[in-house]
Chain A
């Protein structure tokens, strides 16, 4: 019979201090690699004044239904404590979020508080769209954050984003589907891409055409970043130039294509359709794939959507294993629009989001494991099962995690559309992996030059 190995799970007597130390160490290294600038904290700029009048702030985020519900709960709790501040929520699925934000920003009608992604941070901050959060004075207490983690959102001495949480790229597995297929959950300590393909083939074979082995993942740069790191390569260098080699990209797409052709992954057409429909319609979320890649922080939402006890596995490695391919990424940032009329109130709300234990209880790990050390220490013992899984998974990686990749340069947010376009061309056989690699590099360089 199939035994379900509790992957990466530790006995419940945990060591929060060790864990916290691990995170701090990693974030510190990452920040050193990322930023030559010195830290944010305590600025001398005049602090914004709080108003007694009623104030309305617009707050925007991307995410799924789970996030919408828990964020709304936090807003309600905040409004109860601050009766003169009204928070107007505005949320969208990832696919529509950036179009909307860009349009609003261009029209000078940006929301006051913005959930920001690493890919877009330089794009927005470099163009003066974001407020330097060190100018908000005492309203925003950042003492719970290490200087290293704040540096992840700092550029030229200005703090443009507070890292909300940390996450990492992972494989998610549906144990129920694997059990039906009669295979065990692979040991992820040193598993290879070939083993993923084998396990996936077994799932597809047992799936009767409805269930597939591995959900295709060529639609975001997280998987590509990991693959590049395993091949001693990287998308960008510290100067913000595109340096990835064509061979790396070619091998990435060749692997993806071989999975699709072998039926381990669903057909190109089905993949495209599900991808466009969003996370809740993905194969993993609808219990039609055994494995999928994604950000560890998405586990809670995917468990909720699928109703299956999904687990996290490490990303497989190549045969000539190189370590340090995993990395921690700030799952997202809190930013404030540079054109907000109420910087002080916006800071009060951010303060509540990042420092309040009540907010932490409501939000859980849906936005990643909190980057605020105090809140992480508070939250970890109180987490529901899926949240504990995420914390434990990230913690278990500590020894293997390398420096964070270089920050995405301004204009680099176009990478998502570029990756998607060439993955589709490869899967539909309109381009060979070699042609796609060449086109990808050319397009990404052009986007950054224009940015």
Chain B
């Protein structure tokens, strides 16, 4: 509360309109300047440039040529784009719920007061740090390859494996498993959320005769919904933007037979392999709209299931 109090006092000073307050504001802006510069030069500027490029035909090496909404019209008839949307939706809507479920389950287990909690927490968190790295994608390629670890393990049980990554029916699943494996980040957030739940609620429920399951579903879960909501929004956005894993595992092509052609990967290929940067910029803005719509739906739906205890 003390921080809030300070903010209020700054507010009142400003209302009083003293020259001291103005100097303080100036100092604040001065300190914020590097951040503003970064925002302008690294984020807002390129975004505006990309917005302009989405209305042009731009082959990277010759200057962009304004063509109105032609790029967006072409997107309507682009079957590979539709396919890449299908692949991306499949990836997002399978991997995010499974990943969050796993993260929550492990967080609950770890929250039961295991000795060596910080060790396990670190171990489970590790994949989140590594998961989107090139090295792990390369490793994944080996693990799920025709001669890979998975097939060796299956071989012990007499099951004949296959080239998981080179078969279009299983290639996307390996990427989904990779994303699920990076459950550590949401897990740590869940763990923090679980620690925040006041012990007295649980004690009261226990006194009232609630079973372990009832305590979890009636007390813990409702109090955790804001955290679940936060993780859900974050992970959906994150999954829509996935690129590295599919790029490395498919060798940049989205293959086999476009089965791992994420929207972002197709965007990249249009821009950098086909020199169709105007179209790629248009695709990027369409992705922003898609992510915006899903985030808006999330926020709208949150009114019906997220419980704020205040």
* A contact set with B: CB distance below 8 Å: 95-96, 98-99, 102-103, 105-106, 123-124, 127-129, 268-273, 276, 411, 413-414, 417, 420-421, 424-425, 428, 430, 439, 443, 447, 450-451
**Residues on B with beta carbons closer than 8 Å to the beta carbon of A103:** 272
Q: B256: CB under 8 A from chain A?
A: yes
Interchain CB contact under 8 A, A272 and B273? no
- The distance in angstroms between the C-alpha atoms of A417 and B251, with both chains bound, is 11
Query: Within the complex, what minimum Cβ distance (angstroms) separates B160 from chain A?
Result: 11
> What's the count of A-B pairs with C-beta under 8 Å?
95
Q: B39: CB under 8 A from chain A?
A: no
Closest 6 CB pairs of A and B: A127-B61, A273-B166, A272-B166, A424-B257, A269-B163, A106-B60
Interchain CB contact under 8 A, A127 and B62? yes
Complex partner residue of B274 from A127, A428, A430, A447, CB under 8 angstroms? A447
Interchain CB contact under 8 A, B168 and A273? no
Task: List 7 A-B pairs, Cβ < 8 Å.
Answer: A103-B272, A127-B60, A270-B146, A272-B166, A414-B274, A424-B256, A425-B257
- The distance in angstroms between the C-alpha atoms of A420 and B251, with both chains bound, is 12
The A-contacting residues of B in range 187-227, CB under 8 angstroms, are none
Interchain CB contact under 8 A, A428 and B168? yes
CB closest chain-B residue, reference A439: B79
Interchain CB contact under 8 A, A95 and B251? yes
Interchain CB contact under 8 A, A128 and B62? yes
Interchain CB contact under 8 A, A128 and B273? no
Complex partner residue of A430 from B60, B166, B168, B250, CB under 8 angstroms? B168
Interchain CB contact under 8 A, A129 and B252? no
Complex partner residue of A99 from B162, B252, B276, CB under 8 angstroms? B252
Interchain CB contact under 8 A, A99 and B62? no
Q: Count residues of B near A (Cβ-Cβ below 8 Å).
A: 32
Complex partner residue of A424 from B57, B163, B168, CB under 8 angstroms? B168
Given the interface pairs A102-B275, A269-B146, the reply to whether A430 lies near B252 with Cβ below 8 Å is: no
Interface string of B146-183 (1 = CB under 8 A from A): 10000000000000001101111100000000000000
* B contact set with A: CB distance below 8 Å: 57, 59-62, 79-80, 145-146, 162-163, 165-169, 250-253, 255-258, 269, 272-277, 279
CB closest chain-A residue, reference B77: A446
Query: Within the complex, what minimum Cβ distance (angstroms) separates A216 from chain B?
Result: 12
**Residues on B with beta carbons closer than 8 Å to the beta carbon of A411:** 274-275
Query: Within the complex, what minimum Cβ distance (angstroms) separates B254 from chain A?
Result: 8
**Residues on A with beta carbons closer than 8 Å to the beta carbon of B258:** 421, 424-425
**Residues on B with beta carbons closer than 8 Å to the beta carbon of A105:** 60-61
**Residues on B with beta carbons closer than 8 Å to the beta carbon of A96:** 251-252
Query: Within the complex, what minimum Cβ distance (angstroms) separates B182 from chain A?
Result: 24
Given the interface pairs A273-B145, A273-B163, A273-B166, the reply to whether A99 lies near B255 with Cβ below 8 Å is: no
Interchain CB contact under 8 A, A428 and B167? yes
CB closest chain-B residue, reference A128: B61
Given the interface pairs A106-B60, A272-B255, A424-B255, the reply to whether A127 lies near B275 with Cβ below 8 Å is: yes
Given the interface pairs A428-B167, A450-B279, the reply to whether A102 lies near B272 with Cβ below 8 Å is: yes
